[in-house]
Amino acid sequence: MYRRKRKKYRFSEGLAGIELNGKWGFIDETETIVIPPKYDNAEDFNEGLACVKLDGKWGFIDKTGAEVIPLKYDKIRDFAMGTDNAPVLVTLNGKYGYFDKTGAEITPLKYDRAEDFNDGLASVELNGKWGFIDKTGAEVIPLKYDCVYGNYDGPVRVEINGKHGFIDRAGVEIIPPKYDDVEDFSYGRDSRANVQLNGKWGQIDTTGVEIIPPKYDEICNEKDVIRVWLNGKCGLIDYSGAEIAPLKYDDISMFWDGFANMKRNGKYGFIDKNGVEITPPKYDNASEDTSPARAELNGKVGFVNRTGIVIPVKYDDAGCFYGDVTWVKVNGKYGVIDRAGTMVISPEYDDINICRSPYHFGNAHIIVETDGKFGILDKTGKIIIPLKYDYIDIFFDGIAPVKINGKWGLIDYNCVEIVPPVYEKIEMRLDNPGNIFRVQLNGKCGLINKDGDEILPPKYDKILWYSNSQAEVILNGEQIIIEKNL
């Protein structure tokens, strides 16, 4: 019995790798062995070639088994990892070189280090110096830099003698290496790059003009403002360098919906992009990345938006708004409020879980629990499913497992029972959402789809993994691959 490689190695270009007595070969789709198992390792076919290993050395074979690139290299990069018909990177005795897919040498094995091609260029190192070659192997940017960095879409960051600058793709120096550190150019606003000089940060354009002089300890770009830090204090400036909010805050968070939380003297408040304090710093804690934002004071929770307080600080606990509603806790019980602070579901439940449709974000189902029973309400509090289940799992891709009387089934987002509760277990994989479920019945494992149709009957001891075309199972102690359109 041959054993197929695990999930990521499937049929590719009509062939699949198999293992027999510790050796690897290939079969076709009729399961006929077309390349005998003789290799220590093998990768999938790509562009008519497969990377294989024998006696510790790597090379490439074609679909007839003929060696296109001899099996003599210590390491070899699969063609599938390259882009744009890029040459393949090989290593032998600590040296790097490149070949094309016919096996023709592009560069000799001479480099100390080398990287994959990106947009027609690859960075290479020789004798401690870095430069770039093109797909013909020509050194189009001389090997003179101590380090190069891989943003090839615009100016390329380079380092020499501990200083950083930028060159273009032709190797022309557009910003001399004079900075202690630099960040890549961002193209969302006027093509700027943050730069550091003498321990301070500023900002330059693509011509090297310092739009914001390097004078800050830290700098962080937002869409319309820049957060800056100096001597332990934080403030805001615009993209011309003009001050928006003075350097007086302990911290300012990222902006969300036009406002951010700020901290001063150990207390939190909120500030807008014009530097106006929406609320003074008076809260014990505040959330980020939600609107309205969650604010805590003296053990109570409320919410603030960019206009000020919208929901008073009065709840024992509360979630964050990621849709139209969120949960709140009052006197040990859970309820739901909307963005106006209206209590749409009274606080009478032991637990609440808000699930939102992946297709309609505002279409929330509220899973509620009381006295060990689970049900579902809509966001207005209307009962969709009464509290009758022993458990309701979260919805994923519109499907949720449910348990009643010790048995598991499935419901859809309309709360229709699509698989009756007959199974001892139901499991879904997050990387295969709502499509295939592993089930257990009478101690045996099988697979069903979201309509409840049996794909594999529950007769296997274990199902180790499965995809849309294969499953690896154990039956009567034997580990086998089942090839089936799942």
Q: What is the pLDDT of residues 69-83, one digit of tens each?
A: 999 999 998 654 445
Q: What share of the chain in percent tops pLDDT 90?
A: 67
pLDDT at 460 over 90: yes
pLDDT, residue 363, reads 61
pLDDT, residue 358, reads 45
Q: Provide mean pLDDT across the span 254-264.
A: 95
pLDDT at 311 over 60: yes
pLDDT at 217 over 50: yes
Please tell me the distance from the alpha carbon of residue 193 to that of residue 158, in angstroms, as a whole number: 14
pLDDT at 362 over 70: no
Contact 377, 345 (CB under 8 A): yes
pLDDT at 1 over 50: no
pLDDT, residue 431, reads 61
pLDDT, residue 79, reads 58
Give residue for tokens 């008073």. Answer: 312
pLDDT at 484 over 80: no
Q: How far is CA 20 from CA 17, 26, 83, 311, in A?
A: 10, 10, 32, 67
Average model confidence (pLDDT) for the chain? 89
**Nearest one of 452, 448, 482 to 464, comparing CA atoms:** 482
pLDDT, residue 6, reads 40
**Nearest one of 367, 373, 333 to 352, comparing CA atoms:** 367
pLDDT, residue 124, reads 96
Judge residue 406's burial from the number of C-beta atoms within 10 Å of its C-beta, 0-12 exposed, 13-18 middle, 19 or more buried: exposed
Give residue for tokens 């190695």. Answer: 9
Judge residue 260's burial from the number of C-beta atoms within 10 Å of its C-beta, 0-12 exposed, 13-18 middle, 19 or more buried: buried
Q: Is 367 left (phi over 0), alpha (psi -120 to 50) or beta?
A: beta
R_g of the chain, CA atoms, integer Å: 30
Contact 143, 124 (CB under 8 A): yes
pLDDT at 111 over 50: yes
Higher pLDDT residue, 405 or 154?
405
> Which amino acid makes up residue 65?
G
Residue 143: CA count within 13 A, CB half-sphere: 18
**Nearest one of 5, 81, 10 to 39, comparing CA atoms:** 5
SS3 75: strand
Q: Provide mean pLDDT across the span 57-74.
A: 94
> Which amino acid makes up residue 281?
P
pLDDT, residue 103, reads 83
pLDDT confidence band for 333 (50 / 70 / 90): very high
> Which amino acid makes up residue 448?
I
pLDDT confidence band for 189 (50 / 70 / 90): low
pLDDT, residue 134, reads 92
Q: How far is CA 453 from CA 338, 353, 393, 423, in A?
A: 39, 29, 21, 13
Q: Where are the beta strands (DSSP E) in 112-155?
A: 113-114, 122-126, 129-133, 139-145, 147-148
Please tell me the distance from the alpha carbon of residue 151 to that of residue 136, in angstroms, as a whole number: 21
Phi, psi angle pair for 79, to nearest 5°: -55, -30
Q: Tokens for 276?
A: 């106006």
pLDDT, residue 52, reads 95
Q: Let me know how long the chain is.
A: 486
State the first-to-last Cα distance of the chain, in angstroms, to the nearest integer.
22
SS3 317: strand
pLDDT tens-digit map of 426-456: 988 766 645 789 999 999 999 998 888 898 9
Phi, psi angle pair for 485, to nearest 5°: -75, 100
Higher pLDDT residue, 2 or 158?
158
